[in-house]
Structure 1
């Protein structure tokens, strides 16, 4: 999957996101349901589609750690080192989210953000969208997460506005990211390893 997604596919995904729609797309981990992370109506649709408890927040993707200060009140210095040195996709939960849809955040105001290291679809999409994009596993709540496109249920495929035409035949089994919580003081704990 080292070839890049065709620009027309990225444009279709961008048009869908800008219209408040949902996309089904390949990420740096597993196939995800995505929408504009600043659009509360789109996020509401994601929760309804998944049948997901709103107490559980969704995560968002960014294309660069330089964008973190736009969405986190106080980015711990350690975050930049963790992102730079991680070998595996790493989602960091930060307290004090800002400039994101309120219904996206956890009850304590925290948000999980993953900076995507060079991905043939997500990277150009995020660069052109210039806003964070929600990514939540493409399954109904309680079902197991799909490791590749062939495992995504028909119900999910039919419920989104655009199924990204890239990476669907990639048999590679994606792995969920590491998730860690990082406090402003630098204290951290692992939520998922």
Structure 2
């Protein structure tokens, strides 16, 4: 519980956190705070033209930020593995977390217990992007995270640091009646 409280303090103050997600170790911040999101891009040395993934705790939270088509609800309910869906016309999300190209945002309802509790208590979505410098390999465990990343974040969640994972989320985009798989 203390890890959630400390994470929330950082998020509320526009800080960047390093935390375990339902996929890989992630860099996160308040997804509604443009300055905090800019800090994530700076830490990753990533262009702001590339959008980021946003995590929410539930379908109800998701519906506050995007219109959720029936097809997306079906996918969410049936999916056994972490699945990120790209939605049209988000509202209330930081401008720099949204794709400038087509006004979309990638959002996942998180499956990890710690993340779900964190987001639910924070009452806002959080950014989730892999904990690596842009162009570098995604770390499979906490021990593979580069020192530059560790030195740049404001708070590191001391949880599941021994866990090794190779999975990223599936990324889908719903275009009319079609589902386009962008990453399996």
User: Per the shorter chain, which TM-score range?
Assistant: over 0.9
2:172 to 180, 186, 190: 180
1:22 to 1, 13, 16: 16
Aligned to 2:180: 189
- Quote the Cα distance in structure 2 between the aligned partners of 1:166 and 1:120: 12
1:102 to 95, 101, 119: 95
Q: Does 1:46 align with 2:40?
A: yes
- Quote the Cα distance in structure 2 between the aligned partners of 1:128 and 1:56: 28
2:7 to 13, 18, 25: 13
Contact 1:181 1:191 in 2 (8 A): yes
Give the structure with the larger strand fraction. 2
- Quote the Cα distance in structure 1 between the aligned partners of 2:15 and 2:60: 26
RMSD: 1.0
* Regions of 4+ moved over 4 Å: none
- What runs of 5+ residues in structure 1 fail to find an aligned partner? 1-6
Count residues with an aligned counterpart: 183
Q: How does 1:25-104 map to 2 (within 5 A)?
A: 25-72=19-66, 74-104=67-97
Aligned to 1:165: 158
- What runs of 5+ residues in structure 2 fail to find an aligned partner? none
- Quote the Cα distance in structure 2 between the aligned partners of 1:38 and 1:173: 28
Aligned to 1:115: 109
Contact 1:30 1:174 in 2 (8 A): yes
Q: Secondary structure at the match of 1:55?
A: coil
- Quote the Cα distance in structure 1 between the aligned partners of 2:124 and 2:62: 11
C-alpha deviation, 1:120, in angstroms: 2.8
Contact 1:24 1:33 in 2 (8 A): yes
C-alpha deviation, 1:116, in angstroms: 1.1
- Quote the Cα distance in structure 1 between the aligned partners of 2:59 and 2:26: 21
